[in-house]
Amino acid sequence: MEYVQLLEVMAERRKRNKLARYYPDDGPLRRDLYPKHMEFFRVGKRYPERAIIAANRVGKSEGIGGYELALHLTGRYPHWWEGHKFIKPINSWAAGDTSKTVREIIQAKLLGPIGAFGTGLIPGDCLIKTTAKTGISDAIDTFSVRHASGGASTCVLKSYDQRREAFQGSEQDVIWLDEEPEMSIYAECLLRTMATGWFGGGILMCTFTPLKGMSEVVKSYMDKAE
């Protein structure tokens, strides 16, 4: 009976520390098999604006955008991490198309399913508090996360259907845009990160499939590409 209980405790701990299982040193999911992902993380030390513009179902949202945001929120960087590191708690936004898709994709990936918060990319022992969004069933507006340095990081979940005005205001250390926004929203997010972080600026990450073709946002990255 004690052995069974021990296995149950170990399984629960594993379920509530999903972040630590990503990109292991060896095995069938070893990080050597994900060179594009590793390059995206690595260049974050040099560039405040980054985008993964790729096909669907290649791990953009969870394995790249959500994963890096979770590292910055918690300060729990793996031993192999070569990207930018925050040594103190951060303020952040994560945004997507609509409140519904943010709830079903971004919120679920970061926090876990409804009723099981702490089983997503944010480890259960780091999740301090969640605040519900008014008017949207089961949707979270803001959550706070314990940072490894002490103190708490915050993340606000936003959606593009709130329009550009909802992206005005406070400075942010990290902004993750999952799916392509209009240029007006992108520009506002860029402004929010310009006065924080290192070298006078924070981090803006985009993960999306270019369904709009050669849009203003896509073209801006093509023009800046080295």
The owner of tokens 């993750």 is 176
3-state secondary structure 160-225: HHHCHHHHCCCCCCEEEEECCCCHHHHHHHHHHCCCCCECCECEEEEEECCCCCCCHHHHHHHHHC
Contact 40, 53 (CB under 8 A): no
Annotated catalytic residue: which of 39, 62, 104, 179? 179
Contact 187, 193 (CB under 8 A): no
124: left (phi over 0), alpha (psi -120 to 50) or beta: alpha
Q: In angstroms, rounded to a whole number, what is the distance separating the alpha carbons of residues 3 and 9?
A: 10
Cα atoms found within 13 Å of the Cα of residue 209, Cβ hemisphere only = 7
Active site residue 226: no
Strands 203-208 and 174-178, bridge-based pairing: parallel
Contact 31, 38 (CB under 8 A): yes
DSSP 89-144: --EEEEEESSHHHIIIIIIHHHH-STT-TTSSSS-TTTEEEEEEPTTSTT-EEEEE
Catalytic residues: 179
